[in-house]
A = this chain, B = another copy of it.
């Protein structure tokens, strides 16, 4: 594994400047929901202590959205996933030549300061909502591990990746006020308490059960099924699914409807 990673890094340093759009990268915040926790898919690189968001470069003839789809497919095995640009991170201070030079030195590479990888990089942030159970985490050729981490336990990440993660979460929280969510995060049938838990973990706060149910029901995007979830000490809760047509309409026009 380490040899393959080293070989890849060597190629990237030597030839990446010919292959990729200069000074531009992308990073993906991949959210999944599992056991009432919001998870984020992270990578561990060879010589870097903090974990990192999965990301990559844009081939010289590649559409940037296609590059993001490729990264997501390579890391998760998933295709046809809701993937959304949410911000571009263009602070010159995010690229720290000395830090990266030291990192490459530690991995056994001597890198000239004019190397393309040591220049300033602007990165485009994408986020994806994926069904946890469908994902097979897969380290890329510059990583030694790829794992889900609990969102609220992540304290530090590589470079400015924590800033990127926080901005993605802020975007989700903001969208929760006017857009439906859950279609890609929940199983096809779910209970109202499960849906509420999803909202609570994104918002990182408790919601009132009755208010939540009233407001969610008022949007008309849920279908109450003639089934209950059996097992557990409490009265078996009803199962719901999304009314896909109304869900899509609400995604387009907002939960209040269009003008």
CB-CB nearest in chain B for A91: B63
Q: Please tell me which one of the listed residues B65, B88, B257 contacts residue A124 in the complex, with CB atoms under 8 A apart.
A: B88
Q: With contacts A22-B22, A203-B259 known, is A177 near B62, CB below 8 A?
A: no
**Structural contact, A178 and B254, CB atoms closer than 8 A:** yes
Report chain B residues within 8 Å CB of A67.
90
Report chain B residues within 8 Å CB of A257.
177
**Structural contact, B254 and A62, CB atoms closer than 8 A:** no
> What 0/1 readout, one digit per residue, does chain A (117-157) give for beta carbons within 8 Å of chain B?
00010101000000000000000000000000000000000
Q: With contacts A207-B259, A256-B178 known, is A58 near B21, CB below 8 A?
A: no
CB-CB nearest in chain B for A258: B177
**Structural contact, A65 and B85, CB atoms closer than 8 A:** no
**Structural contact, A256 and B255, CB atoms closer than 8 A:** yes
Check: A225 CB closer than 8 A to any chain B CB: no
Check: A236 CB closer than 8 A to any chain B CB: no
Please give the number of chain A residues whose Cβ is less than 8 angstroms from any Cβ of chain B in the complex: 37
**Structural contact, B90 and A58, CB atoms closer than 8 A:** yes
Report chain B residues within 8 Å CB of A124.
88, 90
Q: A154 to B61: give the CA distance in the assembly, Å.
A: 30
Check: A24 CB closer than 8 A to any chain B CB: yes
Q: A256 to B175: give the CA distance in the assembly, Å.
A: 12
Report chain B residues within 8 Å CB of A62.
92
Report chain B residues within 8 Å CB of A203.
259
CB-CB nearest in chain B for A199: B259
Q: With contacts A21-B23, A23-B24, A24-B122 known, is A256 near B177, CB below 8 A?
A: yes
**Structural contact, A177 and B178, CB atoms closer than 8 A:** yes
CB-CB nearest in chain B for A219: B256
**Structural contact, A177 and B87, CB atoms closer than 8 A:** no
Within 8 A of B (CB), among A44-59: 58
Report chain B residues within 8 Å CB of A178.
177-178, 254-256
> What 0/1 readout, one digit per residue, does chain A (83-116) give for beta carbons within 8 Å of chain B?
0010110111000000000000000000000000
CB-CB nearest in chain B for A66: B90
The 6 closest A-B pairs by CB, nearest first: A64-B90, A178-B178, A177-B254, A178-B254, A22-B22, A61-B92
